[in-house]
Structure 1
Amino acid sequence: MRNLTKLVGTGLILATVTACGAQGTMATNPASGGDSVAPSGSISTSPSSVPKPPPNPPGKPRFEVPAGSTPVPADKVDAKALPSGFPHEVYTANGGTIINLRAEEGGCGHALGEAIEQTAQHVVLDLSETKAQTGQMCTMDLRYPYISVALAAPLGERTVVLKQSPPR
């Protein structure tokens, strides 16, 4: 009896593994001359059918530098007003009319960026964070997303001045 229980249990495990493995295989479609098709309910992953995500609009944080961004030279970034250790990676995109920069956020807050002054010599970007709602539990982590800020004109040779405001 003891061996029968082991035999039945092993048979059930093998049947389950075999059935689960068969779900991921391709089926043949006889109507199309034997071409392989994905089983119903699955998602095709061919490169042409995978939708590309829309480009992130200015202000929406992401954790990778947007494709096509160009680093702003370090001598054109003034980060003296930022706290020690605050990131100051700055990139341009879209012909210099978008600034992508590394910001800091934590817990329930989200990084914000705004161009508060644009002159012929410099662009001042104010970095801030949204406030957490009162009574809401938040994690105590720090994140460093890239945020985008739109400029009225291409950055060109202007200096990027970074400053930080209290959470809003």
Structure 2
Amino acid sequence: MMPSSLAVLRDFMLQRYDDLKARLTRRLGCADMASDALQDTWLRLEGKDELGPVDSPGAYLLRMAVNVAVDQQRAENRRLTSSEAEALLAVPDPAPGPAQMAQGREELDTLVRVMGELSERQRGVLLAVRLEGLPQAEVATRMGVSLRTVERELRSAHEHCATRVRNLLSP
């Protein structure tokens, strides 16, 4: 009865381990990587139940070990180093904190209150241009006024809001 391919590969690996390691070290350029790859190769062989016929056990084991090393290298390249992980953890959270959120709410409330002081036309122009993003010419057509009037009302609304908000929020 012929020994199974797995038995042949295991025996070959046990008898020629040093030769396989030397060849793999030359191929990979690192003895530690070669040792790790051969160990994982052995574990993969141990985990197999069947294997088809193998013509050249040495070439088969070497190719298998190289593939294992490539897989290990790919996995290693996907992992973050500890310094990379620390750098990511040190990145400040761009989300506003509670104090910034409270300040933003206060500024928004102040702006809404100040916009209530505008004339109806100024408020309509400001909201249409800045909030809805409409072109000034379209706002002029909708409101039945000239483009120059829309430009003037928008500038006046900006100046009023900027001045009043600055005065109300400054300590």
**Shorter-chain TM-score: what band?**
under 0.3
| Relative contact order, higher structure (CA 8 A, sep 6+) | 1
**Higher helix share goes to which structure?**
2
| TM-score, normalised with respect to structure 1 | 0.27
Q: TM-score, normalised by structure 2?
A: 0.26
Give the structure with higher Rg (CA). 2
